[in-house]
């Protein structure tokens, strides 16, 4: 499960943070971590570096960030270069041997990341057919997301990725148990 936070909603916006959490049907891989080890990856991205590479900041989204909790806004401070952050995500995907990548929705998260990879001159570490949509999955079991207790802070990439991975793992586990898919 991949989640990002950005300072804009149009493709090519500045990426403030990137998170990924490994999971499989019925199970989130343990290991919440601040870097790419165990079952999770999190990296704040240097927004100045993103802007220097041509990614844009949307004023309305920046104002929206001012109304978010302090812990969520911390993602906007400092961070590694976009190149280092995207390389870290690539290494995490390879290390956990992810064959499917989920996003809420991949049209947003993966498109933003693909623009970031373009900005650093590197291809994204996935093929279009490996992308899956968390929103579509939750539509198959609409009551379940509300039943899974939310931990952490909304709009913090790692907390969002963990929550989405827990919900997706539950739904996929149910589908596997009942239908063998």
Phi, psi of 133 (to 5 degrees): -110, 115
Task: Copy the structure tokens of residue 156.
Answer: 């913090």
CATH at residue 70 = 3.30.420.10
* Residues 151, 32: Cα–Cα separation, whole Å: 12
- In the prediction, which pLDDT does 181 show? 62
- In the prediction, which pLDDT does 39 show? 85
As a whole number, mean pLDDT of residues 114-127 equals: 98
Given a cut of 50, whether residue 32 has pLDDT beyond it is no
Number of structural domains, the chain?
A: 1
Given a cut of 70, whether residue 86 has pLDDT beyond it is yes
* Residues 162, 160: Cα–Cα separation, whole Å: 5
Token pair 């991975």 is at which residue?
A: 165
Given a cut of 70, whether residue 4 has pLDDT beyond it is yes
Phi, psi of 64 (to 5 degrees): -60, -40
- In the prediction, which pLDDT does 36 show? 39
Domain that holds residue 76: 2-179
As a whole number, mean pLDDT of residues 17-25 equals: 94
As a whole number, mean pLDDT of residues 159-166 equals: 92
Confidence of residue 118 (pLDDT cuts 50, 70, 90): very high
- In the prediction, which pLDDT does 145 show? 65
The end-to-end CA distance of the chain, in Å, is 19
As a whole number, mean pLDDT of residues 75-85 equals: 95
């Amino acid at each position: 499960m991949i989640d990002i936070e950005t300072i804009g909603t149009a493709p090519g916006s500045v990426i403030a943070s990137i998170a990924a959490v490994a999971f499989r049907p019925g199970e989130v891989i343990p290991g919440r971590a601040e870097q790419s080890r165990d079952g999770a990856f999190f990296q704040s991205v240097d927004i100045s570096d993103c802007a220097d590479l041509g990614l844009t900041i949307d004023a309305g989204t920046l104002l929206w960030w001012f109304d978010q909790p302090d812990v969520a806004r911390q993602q906007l401070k400092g961070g590694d270069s976009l190149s280092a952050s995207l390389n870290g995500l690539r290494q995490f995907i390879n290390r956990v041997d992810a064959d499917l990548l989920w996003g809420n929705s991949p049209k947003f998260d993966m498109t933003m990341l693909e623009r970031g990879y373009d900005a650093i001159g590197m291809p994204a570490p996935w093929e279009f057919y490996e992308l899956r949509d968390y929103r579509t999955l939750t539509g198959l079991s609409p009551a379940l997301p509300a039943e899974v207790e939310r931990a952490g802070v909304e709009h913090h990439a790692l907390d969002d990725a963990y929550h989405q991975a827990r919900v997706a793992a539950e739904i996929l586990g149910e589908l596997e148990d009942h239908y063998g898919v």
